[in-house]
Amino acid sequence: MALRVNPLHPIFAAEIVGADLAQSPTPELVRTVEDAMARFAVTVIRDVNVSDEDHIRFSRAFGPLELPPSLGRKRPTKRRMRPELFDASNLDENGEIIPYDSERRKLARGAERFHTDSSFNALPTKWSLLLGHIVPPEGGDTHFIDTRAVYDALPEETKKRIADLVAIHDFWRGRELVSGLTGVTDEMRATMPAVRHPLVRTMPYGRQSLYLGGHAVGIVGWPEEKALALLGELYDFATQDRFIYVHEWRQGDLVIWDNRCTLHRATPLESDAWKRDVRRTTINEYGPERSADPVAA
């Protein structure tokens, strides 16, 4: 079947139909995906039914993997999936539903605020590739924002104001501010110390984008209160409905997004009636494969 690329939103996001990920990616498929990502920033490959190994092999065609962090905790001895994959599911190691109101799910609820994956690392990630193995019949949509379009729409005065600003990204502080997480130890903070990134970044093809989200908690040289006020102003502008693509999951969707120029958020699956098994690879732009734990990398 020939590959087809169909737009999904007036500003960005597209789907690719006809890709076979059970085979090693062909040069045509790699080129089609790369071109679609440069244009649309979010790309959905439909009807994917592959193993973890196939998912990982496809991802490595576009960059070295970022490996899941330990977050200062012992790694589980029992797994449902390959250790190279991030688990964005509502399931425990035995495949049973983790209650939504449990402490274990509380950490994950920070993902319900718009963010970009791993911006709390010194090396920001390139893409994330999330595959739906079990998709509930209702709930669990993912929302995306094209921060290139957001930057383009900013008033010129605002663009000048933020042009040279550097934001502070901090995983643990972000979780404290967004989800009220408590009990973060010094050992946990040491695994992911705060990092700095320009608030405006330029993509390899020349477009500029805002680089902010739930992990951005300060601005270098500014008091926290003033920094959070500006970041909140930009966040409110970026999260207008006109910039948002809502992805309603289908079984077998592989959703790829560019972390350098998009924001995304999970919508809560508040019912404990449905299993949701979604598994993610994340890739970097360059370098060896490395852990998302900065200290361990």
pLDDT in tens, 55-107: 999 999 999 999 998 755 565 667 899 999 999 999 998 999 988 887 776 66
Q: Cα–Cα distance between 257 and 52 in angstroms, integer?
A: 19
Q: Which 3 state secondary structure label does DSSP give 195?
A: strand
CA 25 to chain centre: 23
Domain ranges of the chain: 4-291
Identify the architecture of domain 4-291 in CATH.
Answer: 4-Layer Sandwich (3.60)
Confidence of residue 297 (pLDDT cuts 50, 70, 90): very low
Q: Cα–Cα distance between 103 and 47 in angstroms, integer?
A: 34
Residue given tokens 């330029």 in the structure block: 202
Cα–Cα separations (whole angstroms), residue 249 to 76, 115, 132: 28, 19, 8
Strands 86-87 and 277-284: antiparallel
pLDDT in tens, 131-156: 999 999 988 999 999 999 999 999 99
Strand order in the sheet with 244-247: 244-247, 142-146, 262-266
User: Which residues pair with residue 261 across a beta bridge?
Assistant: none
Q: Is the pTM of this model over 0.85?
A: yes
pLDDT in tens, 230-276: 999 999 999 999 999 999 999 999 999 999 999 999 988 878 889 99
* CA proximity to 187, closest of 106, 71, 297: 71
